[in-house]
Structure 1
Amino acid sequence: MANPDRLSGLDAAFLELERGGAHMHVASVMTFEGSPPSYEELFEAIGDRLHLVPRYRQKLARVPLGLGRPVWVDDPSFNLLYHLRHTALPQPGSNAQLAALAARIFASRLDRSKPLWEIYLVEGLEPAADGTERFAVIAKTHHALVDGISGVDITAVLFSTAQDAAPVGPPASPWAPRPQPTEGELVAGVIQDGLSDPLAPVRATSRMLRDPSSAVGRLAEKLEVTGSLLISSTGAAPDTPLNRRIGSHRRYGWVNAPLELFKEIKNGLEGTINDAVLTTVALGLGRWLRRRGVDTDGLVLRTMVPVSVRTTEEQGGLGNQVSALWAPLPVGEADPSVAFRAVRDAMGDLKSSDQALGAETITEIAGFAPPTIASQAAKLQARQRLFNLTVTNVPGPQTPLYLVGRRMTAIYPVVPLSEKTALGVAVMSYCGRLCFGLLADYDAMPDLGDVVEDFEAAMFELALAAETTRQPTPVRERHLSQTAVTPGTVSYAEA
């Protein structure tokens, strides 16, 4: 039986993609109302729940000579003090300072010699407009540990749906790390997993390289997808300012709007909330590109949109069960109604094309490849410009969540940047709000604040096109360094 603690092909690929300035962690910035808990209080709350997510006490072990994918093993030196960190913002503790802190945290790579996650308790956040105290929590987890869609399930371990939730029951027995596997045992595990013939994937890869069209054709036939669909998704995406080799520093910004607004947009324009989200990104980036001097006439960007392929039985499991759609973004279309229809029709075609299933099967093939081949494939992918940016849209809970009795007021997600994508847009709904988090390369996008404002303007345009009356902002604060503070705009910061 296969080793259940071995990384999948996709999870291992995330490790290989982590090179240069690219860091493959997902993250979030969460704000809460009320006085912050003490470090000891939060430490105890998380410690009491760790037995519910045993992976959070595990680290990666490499197989000698790269004969197999890494495995998860218990960390005998696990110490929650390392993973739970405590910091405070300097006065006045603005949203801009919080975003700047988050950008610095997101810019650093997780230590692979330890379990791949960190949580920061952030004090010193300025009060809300009504004077209510606030604090923040910043979480960072490697993509190989949990994917951005099923990861929502894990928050149920750390958060409760009631302010006075009952304590979590203790584990059946105290945690004790399992013995570390020896190098011989790691190699034996590869053999047990049926990977004892390293030449088999080499031969398969060699055949595919000699006759790629027939290999793609067989895959397409299996999936009942045309070969042209698969081939069309592997050509180069348009060359834009979004596609520059990134460095190690980041900028981060956010904007949120009522979920009801997006429901009115999708109802008025006859589509889905995801159509409205993607059109917001298309309209916003179109404005930004034109301001950058880019000719957007007829320009259509290619966006990677992750989708879950996890079955109902697999919900709650750790590890990635995701695939991707290559969604077109009509950034050259300034008319919001026309742009929305273009996105809606394209997404409808993609969903009926089984493109996600095709990508899932390609991922399964990656699971067969030994790490040496997977590493080379990751390097090849990094050199290609397969897409312009990633946009994720994750449905979150619509009832309040509480952390040690304090209500969460907002959650701004983060999607990682690959080597040649300078912007990632992550969207998550929570408690009647739709929260956009924008992570950008520091050097490639010094004007991220303008992009955030462009997104807000796009929401207004879509609202007007759908003949809605609700405005897309109750929280509109702007804090731009070296810029006058202007009430009535979005939150943005850089670091």
Structure 2
Amino acid sequence: MDRVRPRDLTFLEEESPETPQQNATIEIFEPGEGPDALDHARLVALIRDRIAFVPRYRQRLQAVPGHLANPVWVDDEKFDLAFHVRRSALPRPGSSSQLLELVSRIVSRPLDRTRPLWEIYFVEGLEDGRVAVLSKTHQALVDGVHTVDLGQLLLDLQPEARALEPDDWAPRRSPNPATLLGGAVRENLTDPGVLLDSVRTGSRALARTADQRSERARSFLAAAAGRRPKSRGVINGPLSQQRRVVTVATRLTDYRLIREAHGGTINDVVLATVTGALRAWLMTRAESLGGLRQVRAVVPVSVIDEELEATSLGSQIAAHFVDLPVGEPSPIVRLHQVSYSFQAHKDTGRSVAANRLAGIAGFAPTTFHAIGSRVAAIELRKGYQLSVTNVPGPQAPLYAAGARMVASYPVPPLTPGHPLAIGVTSYDGGVYYGITADRDWIPDAEVLGACVREALDELIDVSSPTRQRAPRGRRTTKGTSKRDS
């Protein structure tokens, strides 16, 4: 029996209706034409073909009687791929806003704990004939050590799918309660670490129940009095059970232009863009900057560090904290301040080059984002205000069952008290932002998305004043303007 590790169990224990612990990704495809076009049936066949590489995706959680030890992962004897790979559609021609509204509702719902902890939605009806694939996976499932994200395995470098050996998987019989109980007792007697984990699990469960009851009581009293819960900061506050997702597509050439003019890295330019967007967005709100000069952000970074848990990605992921200078009016100064913050990290020799990460087999950004969100959750008590995960991906087109992927947007999870999170993925000449916001606390998340574009344009202007940019076109379902297509 494979027992749930303490760190993975933390994500299960801390989950609540307001904080579903799950990562998501929106991928947009040109489905192709004719009988070989990507449709729901071909996606199901592709997943059935590749799922053998991630056995955890066919396992469910099984609790131990009396909670004498952590739960175990067991094969789901009733595993039903059709339950996990679902079909949806927008009214044709579906717009980007309609797609994002559907995504927002799907990612707001927690996963079913009685089944393997993942879902994939095939969404038809987008304008220009495109389709979307939305994947949703629990944070306890993907650790980068024993399990990578299924999305990393579904994409190929060529339109022709790789030939694989047939999968003859058959579920192992689930252990009965007596077997689980006997195994827990033996492990508690022979391994003090298991006993300690069990005690900690029980203590955390009791503390969490007390905290939840206290929070519900406060929310009830505030609602009865007609008061909105008091904010703990301009971009921090309590969460509702609903999310809002915003996507922004930009071009990698713009970031390279800025880097060449001012030095630093693409990551520095991305974070400077985020900083400028936050500044502009905050200034549109009633509270303006509210005296806020900096936003403390946690930015998971790839490092080589033998003291950290090894991953299958060739590097470890560590938290880096940076103060985003939202109070600084100059975009160039903001960029240099961000670059300076990361220079110390580069000087340690632990950092991993972006081109190395982009060269990892498969579409590794989905796994990197999953690990990054785990790191952000673990570092929650260090008092940051925002998590930003930026992952470089391959700069060549990838394909799923012959269909070319044209965009990939991360949808990072929210942590308690943090109603905003930002993920960024670069892929095939594009840089794609995924913004997750609490629907009630940040109802103007679309404004922040527009501010991302404006902040990038501002950096371009000060990097190449004579450069003539094409006028912005209308929005497409890809989340880009026509000039970005």
Provide TM-score, normalisation by structure 1: 0.75
SS of corresponding position for 2:93: coil
Query: 1:249 and 2:242 equivalent?
Result: yes
Does the alignment pair 1:275 with 2:268?
yes
Structure 1 contact 68–195 (Cα < 8 Å) conserved: no
Q: In structure 1, what is the equivalent of residue 358 of structure 2?
A: none
Which whole-Å deviations, capped at 9, do the CAs of 1:353-391 have from their partners, x for residues lacking one?
A: 7999xxxxxxxxxxxxxxxxxxxxx99987x68221111
Q: Please state how far the C-alpha of 1:42 moved relative to its aligned partner.
A: 1.9
Kept after mapping to 1: 8 A contact 2:255/2:266: yes
Write out per-residue CA displacement over residues 471-494 of structure 1, whole angstroms, 9 at most, x where no aligned residue. Answer: 599875179xxxxxx988999xxx
Matched, 1:299 2:293: yes
User: 1:17-416 maps to which residues of 2 (within 5 A)?
Assistant: 17-35=14-32, 37-127=38-128, 133-147=129-143, 154-171=150-167, 173-180=168-175, 182-187=179-184, 188-189=186-187, 193-198=191-196, 239-292=232-285, 293-295=287-289, 299-308=293-302, 314-316=310-312, 322-350=317-345, 386-416=383-413
Q: Give the Å deviation of 1:149.
A: 11
Shift of 1:401: 1.3
> Could you tell me which residue of structure 2 aligns to residue 435 of structure 1?
432
More off after superposition, 240-249 vs 61-70: 61-70
- Cα deviation, residue 290, structure 1: 1.7
CA distance in 1, matches of 2:47, 2:378: 40
Q: Which is further off, 8-17 or 186-195?
A: 186-195
Distance in 1 between residues matched to 2:378 and 2:313, nearest whole Å: 30
TM-superposition CA deviations, 1:156-202 (whole Å, max 9, x none): 4212111122332223x433335336322451345555425539988
Counterpart of 1:232 in structure 2 is: none
Tell me: CA distance 1:74–1:355, structure 2 relative to 1, closer, same or farther (3 Å). same
Letter of the structure 2 residue corresponding to residue 170 of structure 1: P
Separation in 1 of the partners of 2:257 and 2:377?
43
Task: For 1:52 and 1:143, locate their aligned partners in 2 and report how far apart those are by CA, in whole Å.
Answer: 18
Higher alpha-carbon deviation: 90-99 or 30-39: 30-39
**AA in 2 matched with 1:435:** Y
Over 3 Å counting, the alpha-carbon distance change for 1:199 and 1:454 in structure 2 is closer
SS across alignment from 2:127: coil
Q: So what's the TM-score if we normalise by structure 2? A: 0.76
Equivalent AA in structure 2 for residue 106 of structure 1: V
Report the more deviating stretch, 444-453 or 393-402.
Answer: 393-402
**CA distance, structure 1, for counterparts of residue 304 and residue 75 of structure 2:** 25
CA distance in 2, matches of 1:191, 1:471: 69
Runs of 5+ consecutive residues of structure 2 not aligned to the other structure: 204-230, 352-375
- In terms of mean alpha carbon deviation, does 175-184 or 115-124 score higher? 175-184
Aligned residue in 2 for 1:234: none
Q: Aligned partner of 2:163: which letter?
A: P
CA distance in 1, matches of 2:183, 2:469: 57
| Deviation digits for residues 85-132 of structure 1 (CA, Å, limit 9, x no counterpart) | 0011013311111111111111111111111110111111111xxxxx
| Whole-angstrom CA distance in 1 between matches of 2:322 and 2:476 | 31
What is the SS of the residue equivalent to 1:241? coil
Q: Please say if residues 261 and 470 of structure 1, whose CA atoms lie closer than 8 Å, have aligned partners that are also in contact.
A: no
Partner of 1:466: 463
What's the RMSD between the two structures over aligned residues?
3.7
- Distance in 2 (CA, whole Å) between partners of 1:152 and 1:337 is 38
- Where structure 1 has 5 or more consecutive residues not aligned to the other structure, the ranges are 128-132, 206-237, 357-377, 480-485
- Hey, what does 1:447 align to over in structure 2? 444
8 Å CA contact 1:301–1:329 kept in 2: the answer is yes
Q: Contact conserved, 1:257 with 1:472, CA < 8 A, in 2?
A: no
Structure 1's 199 and 265: CA in aligned 2 closer, same or farther, altered over 3 A?
A: closer
The alignment covers a number of residue pairs equal to 419
How has the CA–CA distance of structure 1 residues 328 and 414 changed in structure 2, closer, same or farther, with 3 Å as cutoff? same
- Which amino acid letter does the alignment assign opposite residue 269 of structure 2? A
Per the alignment, residue 416 of structure 2 pairs with 419
Taking the aligned partners of 1:475 and 1:170, their CA distance within structure 2 comes to 47
Retained in 2: the 8 A contact 1:306–1:392? yes
Note the C-alpha offset of 1:21: 0.7
CA deviation string 1:127-150 (max 9, x = no partner) = 1xxxxx211111111111115899
CA contact (8 A) 1:24 1:416 kept: yes
Distance 1:350 1:164, change over 3 A: closer
The answer on whether the counterparts of 1:411 and 1:430 sit within 8 Å (CA) in structure 2 is yes
Q: SS in structure 1 opposite 2:77?
A: coil
Shift of 1:274: 1.1
